[in-house]
Amino acid sequence: MVMQDGGAVDVRPGPDPGRAAPGHARAYRTAGAALAVYGGALTAWTVYGIIQGDGSVWDFFEGLFNPRASFFMWTLGPGEWALVVALLAVAAGALALRRVARTGALLLGWVILAQSGREIVGLCHAGYRQVYATEALGGWVLATRALGLVAALVVVVALLPAVERAAGGAETARDGLRPAVTKRSCADADSWWRRRLSRICGVLFLGMAALRLAWTVWGMSEERIDVGTYLRSALDGAAAGAVQLSHSSEFTTLSSVVVLLVLGVLAVRGNRDVRGALLVFAAVELYLTVRTVVLLTVTGFFGGPFVTGESTLSLVMTAYELAATTSVVVLATGRSFSAYGSYEDRLSGPCAGGTRRSWPDGRAG
C-alpha cells in the first residue's frame, strides 16, 4: 500500500487469471506427472522402433507427415505420435499450473481409459492372452497398457474435483481498506464475445462429427460391413489378432466422432472449461488432416480429374476438416476465448484488477 492524494492505493499485482488456484496445485502436478510418465513410455517405444528398424531418424521425421515415406519398424502409428506430443505438452502445462491444461488433461485421460477398456475386452479372450504370452514384446506392451490405465485414472481422479471458479460478485477488499469492487460487469462485457467464439468452435466440431459419421456409414454400406462387425473391431482389442500399441481405424474413427460430439455440444453451450480440450483435440486432428493432404499431394490426387463422386466428396471433407481444425486452434489459442479475465487484461482501473484508489469516504475510484 502507498499513499497518494490522501488515499490508499493498492499497488500489489493481482493474481494470474490463467493460473490454477493454490488449493489445486497438488492435483495439477500429480496429473502432469502421470501424463509425463506415460508420454515418456510411448516416446521410448518410438525410439525403440527407430533403433530396431532399417531406416534413419530422417526417415522417421519424413514419415511423420508423409504416409508414403520409406517404411521401417514403426511400433506406433501417426495417431499415437500425436498422442505423445499432446501428452507431453499438456503435462508441461499442468506442471506449470495453467488452468487451460485441466480439460486437455481430462480429455486425454478419458481417451486413454477408452483405449484401456478396449484392451481389457480383448484380454477376456483366451486366444488373445495366448498371443501376449507368445509375443516377444508382449509383456512390455501389456506393461505399457497398464501404465496408461493407471495414468488415466490418476488424471481423472485428481482433476475432476479441481474445478476453478471465476471471480465474480462482491469481493472483500484487501486489508479492509476499501469496499469490494465487482468484476462481474467486466466479465459480462466480454462474455458475449467469449460465448461467440466458443459456439463457433462447437459448430465446427459438430459439423466434423456429422461429416465423419456420414462418411463412415457410407463406407460400411459400400463394403457391406454390418454394424456388429464394425463395433467389434472398434471395441474389442482381440479383433486385430495381434499385439500392438496402435489402434484400429474403427476405434480411432468411432472415438473421434464421440469426442467431436461431446466437445461440440459443450462448446455450443458456452462451457467455460472446454477451451483446453478443444485446443488439444483440434491440434491432433489438424496434424492428421495435414498428413492426409500430404498423401493426396504425393499420390497426384490434386493433378488428376475428379472422375468419381467419392473423390470429390473426399476432397471436400478434407478441405472442411483442414479449415475447421485450423480455425479452432486459432480461436482456442486466442486470449479473447479465455474464461479467466481476458477482458480485464485489456482494461485499466477496477476492471483490470490493478491499481485502485480507496477514497477517505470509502468510495473506490
Cell match 462387425: residue? Answer: 229
Strand partners, 98: 19
- Per the prediction, the chain carries an average pLDDT of 79
CA gap 179, 166 in Å, rounded: 19
Which residues in 248-259 are b (16+ Cβ under 10 Å) and which e?
Answer: bebbbbbbbbeb
Q: What is the pLDDT of residues 171-218, one digit of tens each?
A: 333 333 333 444 444 444 346 556 788 899 999 999 999 999 999 998
Q: What is the pLDDT of residues 38-59, one digit of tens each?
A: 999 999 998 888 888 776 778 7
Cα within 13 Å of Cα(341), Cβ side: 23
CA gap 353, 10 in Å, rounded: 10
Strand partners, 358: 8, 364
Domain boundaries, the chain: 22-163+183-351
Report pLDDT for 70.
59
Among residues 257, 152, 186, 147, which one has the least CA distance to residue 17? Answer: 186
More confident residue, 240 or 142: 142
Mean pLDDT of 152-164: 91
Residues in CB range of 208: below 8 A, 6 or more apart: 260, 264, 285, 320, 321, 324, 325
Q: What is the pLDDT of residues 234-244, one digit of tens each?
A: 999 888 878 88
Encoded amino acid at 234, one letter: A
Residues in CB range of 256: below 8 A, 6 or more apart: 212, 285
Q: Is the pLDDT of residue 313 over 90?
A: no
Q: What is the pLDDT of residues 248-262, one digit of tens each?
A: 889 999 999 999 999
CA gap 241, 317 in Å, rounded: 32
pTM > 0.95: no
Q: What is the pLDDT of residues 94-106, one digit of tens each?
A: 999 998 899 999 9
Q: Is the pLDDT of residue 334 over 90?
A: no
Q: Is the pLDDT of residue 303 over 80?
A: no
Q: Which of the 8 DSSP states describes residue 19?
A: B
Grid cell listed for 80? 499415437
Q: What is the pLDDT of residues 212-229, one digit of tens each?
A: 999 999 888 888 888 999
| Packed helices 100-123 and 227-235: angle between N→C axes, nearest 10 degrees | 110
Q: Which of the 8 DSSP states describes residue 22?
A: G
Report pLDDT for 191.
62
**H or E stretch at 115:** helix 100-123
More confident residue, 96 or 310: 96
Report pLDDT for 6.
55
DSSP secondary structure string, 122-151?
A: HHTSHHHHHHHHHSTTHHHHHHHHHHHHHH
- How wide is the angle at C-alpha 179 spanned by C-alphas 173 and 181, nearest 5°? 80
Cell match 500489489: residue? Answer: 12
- Report the percentage of the chain scoring pLDDT > 70: 74
Grid cell listed for 173? 477488499
